[in-house]
Amino acid sequence: MAWHKETAFDAARALQNRSLSAEHYVAACLERIDAREPEVRAFAHINREGSLQRARELDRQAIQGAMHGLTLGIKDVFDTFDMPTEGGSRAFAGHQPVQDAAVIATLRRTGAVMLGKTVTTELATFPTNGTRNPLHLDHTPGGSSSGSAAAVAAQMVSFATGTQTMGSTIRPSGYCGVTGYKPSYNLMPRRGVWANADSCDTVGLVARDVRDVAFFAAEMARYPALRLPEDPALLARAPTLGLCRTWEWERTDEAMRAAFEDSGRTLSAAGARVREIVLPEAFKGLLQAHTTVVHFEMSRGFADVLERQSGLIRPALLERTLKGLEVTGEQYQQAQTLARRCRQMFPDVLGDCDALVVPAATGEAPRGQDYSGDTSMNQVWTLMHGPAISVTGGYGPCGLPLALQVVGRIDDDARTLKAAHWVHLHLQARLARLRS
């Protein structure tokens, strides 16, 4: 059996009942890496011998936890004591942390096998580092969690970690046709994860589907309520969904707009109670507010890089960071005030809806590897601090996924994941019928 093709949820059951050994599963993932990595370029570092040794140890021990034997790709901005963490930048070449990031240490305790470090754009910002979209090698996988989305989509790992400050988990996952999850702000601990913009930085997750990502999230956060219910009747219950075109709608292309409208009709026909939601006027300013916040905090967080290592970071990142120095403290505080105001309004905007459905990108993944895509469909929802989960809503002119995202209230992640699972199942069923 080609275990690398199975969802992590299904592989976990086999690993738990010992019908599949951890060594066999890790070897299958490494074989897949050997087959696809030369063209996809998802990894900055592969922990081949260390992961096989860890798998053999697990096979000799009692089941350690829910992640026993499952493989993990770690975005190269998470500290790892046994692998370098370089942030995709010459400024940190050869950097070796002495301890794990908090979420990585948690996952090790539950039996996860750290297969390697996945490629990030430079310091989790914009300059790309050569990863290609495994669905179409001529297109970007998105950023900044480029390697994580590509590794999961290419079936190299069970799961991968990501981060999101603008759209760095949701957009690449959407471009690569897998599930990205940006949890509520601070649901996942950020200790040991390199900072970009503190008030927006969120630890993200990438997996094959919503069931997998909920399973992964429950272990990362040590929060069992995030796992989807075992009772099929609870999962089959149709949610109430808000369809929202957002104030950034004009940035989407024709294919994305068609996929959004078709998805709305599909979900309604499948039994969802669908509401048309229009965001209040105040939300018009959130895209610019997010840009202001990120630029200001990035220039503050990268102050030492600017002072001592500016010659080692690429010009595009240097220019963006220097631009942040032009943002005044007053502008920053005004942007944060608007963000807090809109967060307070959002539960009333949702009303009786379990979640909103909005575009996750402006269209399908752009051609080329030098540009990781437009972040405008993600920035507002990152600033809002609530959960977001990507699902595929259609396919574009190049045959690549057109991603939507299911967005929820702050700290209402369990309900949002459940709604996203329902949306994912029904949209996948529709797309399967269209392709058959």
Tens of pLDDT, residue by residue over 218-276, are 999 999 999 999 888 889 999 999 999 999 999 999 999 999 999 999 999 999 999 99
Residue-level pLDDT at 274: 98
End position of a domain, from candidates 226, 249, 270? 226
Whole-angstrom CA distances from 297 to 61, 228, 309, 426 are 45, 35, 18, 40
Residues 142, 109 share a domain: yes
The answer to whether 144 is a known catalytic residue is yes
Let me know if residue 256 belongs to a domain: yes
Residue 3's pLDDT band (boundaries 50, 70, 90)?
confident
Let me know if residue 302 belongs to a domain: no
Residue 400's pLDDT band (boundaries 50, 70, 90)?
very high
What domain range is 390 assigned to?
233-285+331-394+404-435
- What is the C-alpha separation between 326 and 319, in angstroms, rounded? 11
Residues 135, 254 share a domain: no
Phi-psi region of 41 (alpha: psi -120 to 50; beta: other; left: phi over 0): left
Whole-angstrom CA distances from 298 to 31, 75, 76, 110 are 39, 19, 18, 34
CATH number, domain of 89, equals 3.90.1300.10
Whole-angstrom CA distances from 231 to 194, 237, 429, 430 are 39, 11, 20, 24
Residues 378, 362 share a domain: yes
The active-site residue out of 51, 75, 117, 418 is 75
What's the whole-model pTM score? 0.97
Residues 179, 272 share a domain: no
The answer to whether 75 is a known catalytic residue is yes
Q: How many domains does the chain have?
A: 2
Cα 357-145-72 angle, rounded to 5 deg? 105
Q: Of 125, 123, 169, 127, which Cα lies nearest the Cα of 148? A: 169
The active-site residue out of 144, 146, 173, 376 is 144
Helices (H), 178-269: 210-221, 232-236, 254-269
Outline where DSSP puts E strands in 307-367. 355-359
Let me know if residue 318 belongs to a domain: no
Residues 350, 367 share a domain: yes
Tens of pLDDT, residue by residue over 24-53, are 999 999 999 999 999 999 999 999 999 999
Residue 60 backbone phi and psi in degrees, to 5: -90, -10
Residues 253, 377 share a domain: yes
Q: In angstroms, how far is CA 9 from the centroid of its own chain?
A: 18
The answer to whether 268 is a known catalytic residue is no
The active-site residue out of 51, 89, 146, 168 is 168
CB 228 within 8 A of CB 418: yes
